[in-house]
Structure 1
């Protein structure tokens, strides 16, 4: 009887702890959603928690009609798609080569790759390199520098090493070369690891802001996270209400409905939605894909 009570008490403690953890994790995002659907002047009164007191869609209307924010969303979407596809392609191709035991200098190449995970050239040398390559103020400055991920390469390589050698041998007997084996045999059966690393890479590109803040000065090339970071840092506080100032007098009179904070929260919510939509479709690959990196050669 005592053991049953102890077990029930332990389970109650575990579930209570998990509930508190879930609440602490989800509440900030939920509060941002509530603020985005609440009028700005009402939010300024404080005490807003679980539900909008003065519901409005004006915040979303302003954000979705602001060409500056729409341009940032387009740039971010293009960066995420192009950057993810190129990164997964070249990283997996690189990992496939390093997974071959007959590759001369294989361990030497791996040591060089691992060193880059701990040491870099530094911010200033990297900036000078980017400038000399004429990548400043271009879309590709957000894609090319991160096209190879050593961490993802190690996970890919570990996964490729675990594949049965008979698959490649039978393909080569049928006339396939290394490229044919990779594209026709290896890559199609690497769904779990490709899906998992694709999501990780896509989330990284979608949330990345630091590189664009350094290498890009053209406002039309800024991704949404960099633009949002500038707003948070109050560098664009005056620009955040630029839309209202350039519209009609009626819009100016309604400025108390749409405020800097309400626009900020609305932009944050919109920029988070794509990741939340994609995540459930690849969640089933996580258990198998993530554990691949823990396997040893």
Structure 2
């Protein structure tokens, strides 16, 4: 029975790993050779040309920098703002606390829609602005609920002893609460960072300046290069020219190399938070 279970789990793991491995193999294979087919688990004609083309293009490097900056700043500010809100929602003396909680939960089920959101972003002056990546995602209600559940499970005596020693509310939060919240911060930071890194939709709507496009939006345009039109509001003429050039040079192999370059950085984050992940992801599953 155990052998059967491990065999099935191994096959399941291999089926999940193979697409990524095949993309890696194709990215190191000559484009014209890839077009012949049959490249599966090992490169048939080794080459680094695909990566050379990608890494030499300033537009892609700029998009990579925008994605990294957005992920770091967006994750740090979102976790901090959400944690502050959650800590405030644990205070029993907060006037209207139940109303605020109902109001926040309401937003989980109902949203304004794409057009009202677009009009709001434009009225705030966030079009073609780096802050459009940061401000709309400053607070996550779902993450706030998880933070709130974790904070409520901390011993009350910690705060009471700190207050006796003259510590302020902000001091308690930054000196006691946050240092004890490592697992939940690591877990929610990972989820938030992945969301920021993978987001291509928002920039395609709110950004028309090619210098502010993150790498995921550029990747999306590359994958859909066959349907790029002259009226595109996302890519400029230089971007379209680059797509045409790379399509002729490397075909499918360039796309795979592009995907590997975009995917590897966020994958490398997982080992650093793995020890907190299991504990953090269970928070809120037992009690509220």
Q: TM-score normalised to the size of structure 1?
A: 0.90
Q: Tell me, in whole angstroms, the C-alpha distance in 2 between the residues paired with 1:66 and 1:242.
A: 12
Q: Tell me, in whole angstroms, the C-alpha distance in 1 between the residues paired with 2:56 and 2:188.
A: 34
Matched, 1:65 2:60: no
Q: Tell me, in whole angstroms, the C-alpha distance in 1 between the residues paired with 2:59 and 2:35.
A: 26
Q: Is the Cα–Cα contact under 8 Å of residues 156 and 193 in structure 1 kept in the other structure?
A: yes
Which residue matches 2:126? 135
Q: Which residue of 7, 11, 22 corresponds with 1:20?
A: 11
Which residue matches 1:217? 208
Gaps of 5+ in 1: 1-9, 245-254
Cα distance, 1:17 vs. partner?
1.3
Q: Is the Cα–Cα contact under 8 Å of residues 246 and 254 in structure 2 kept in the other structure?
A: no
Which residue matches 2:272? 281
Matched, 1:163 2:166: no
Which residue matches 2:223? 232
SS in 2 for 1:187: helix
SS in 2 for 1:102: coil
Cα distance, 1:32 vs. partner?
0.5
SS in 1 for 2:283: helix
**Segment of structure 1 superposing worse, 228-237 or 75-84:** 228-237
Q: Which residue of 100, 114, 121 corresponds with 2:105?
A: 114
Q: Tell me, in whole angstroms, the C-alpha distance in 2 between the residues paired with 1:171 and 1:192.
A: 22
User: For 1:1-60, what per-residue CA distance to the aligned partner results, in whole angstroms no more than 9, with x for missing partners?
Assistant: xxxxxxxxx222212211121111000000100011000000000011000000001111
Q: Which residue of 25, 35, 47 corresponds with 1:34?
A: 25
Q: Which residue of 28, 32, 36 corresponds with 1:45?
A: 36
SS in 2 for 1:259: helix
**Segment of structure 1 superposing worse, 99-108 or 146-155:** 99-108
Q: Tell me, in whole angstroms, the C-alpha distance in 2 between the residues paired with 1:261 and 1:243.
A: 10
Q: Runs of 4+ in structure 1 displaced over 4 angstroms?
A: none
Cα distance, 1:239 vs. partner?
2.7
Q: Tell me, in whole angstroms, the C-alpha distance in 1 between the residues paired with 2:286 and 2:92.
A: 17
Q: Is the Cα–Cα contact under 8 Å of residues 201 and 217 in structure 2 kept in the other structure?
A: yes
Cα distance, 1:102 vs. partner?
1.8
Alignment RMSD:
1.4
Gaps of 5+ in 2: 229-238
Q: Which residue of 23, 47, 55 corresponds with 1:56?
A: 47
Q: Tell me, in whole angstroms, the C-alpha distance in 2 between the residues paired with 1:88 and 1:99.
A: 17
Higher gyration radius (CA): 1
